[in-house]
Amino acid sequence: MAETEDPFALFAAWMEEAEKGEPDDANAMCLATSTQDGRPSARMVLLKGVDGPGAAQRGFVFYTNYESRKGGEILANPNVAATFHWKSSHKSIRIEGEARPVPPEEADAYYASRSRGSRIGAWASAQSRPLESRYALEKSVAEVTLRHGIGEIPRPPYWSGFRIVPARIEFWKNMPFRLHDRTVFHAAPGGGWRTEKLYP
């Protein structure tokens, strides 16, 4: 049996524990995407939100430039996987599901909460595309800074978030003699979750 019937509640408990023990970025996750023909790529991103009970769609939210490599791959093929690994607590979580764009108002609210420098960076960086020199990036930052002065910096139309709506969540806990504990939650077609244990 699982520790709870709600994988989001279990995730919250494990994340709270990780935040107390991890020296940096407990919310860092390895996000794997793939091209339409199945070529995978993975990189670290930061989790920025987890939906609570009663949300229209429950999932795990992160933000990016939609014109970046990962953004383009997700828009072409929304099937993704994400992994959290916390050495401090000897636990990890694997998530598989579909990444769906967040509503514009949700992206606006998060973008407004970012530091001014980060908002400038969202405009200045052509993320994932070739950079001819560091000077070119610094010049772009200066131009964006000058253009907006001390006024508001709106969210770029190509910068937004994705919500990973999970189909499968696996919780892994280190145990002696490598006999690790593995619990998997499978999203049930009619709602709710089916759980099972896996051999380590």
Structural tokens at position 162 = 């994705």
Pairing of strands 193-198, 40-46: unpaired
- CA dist 17 and 26 (Å) reads 9
38: Cβ contacts below 8 Å, ≥ 6 apart: none
The active-site residue, picked from 39, 178, 182, 194, is 178
Query: Which DSSP string do the residues of 51-71 spell out, in sequence order?
Result: --TT-SS--EEEEEETTSHHH
Is 194 an annotated catalytic residue?
Answer: no
Structural tokens at position 112 = 């407004």
Which residues are designated catalytic? 178
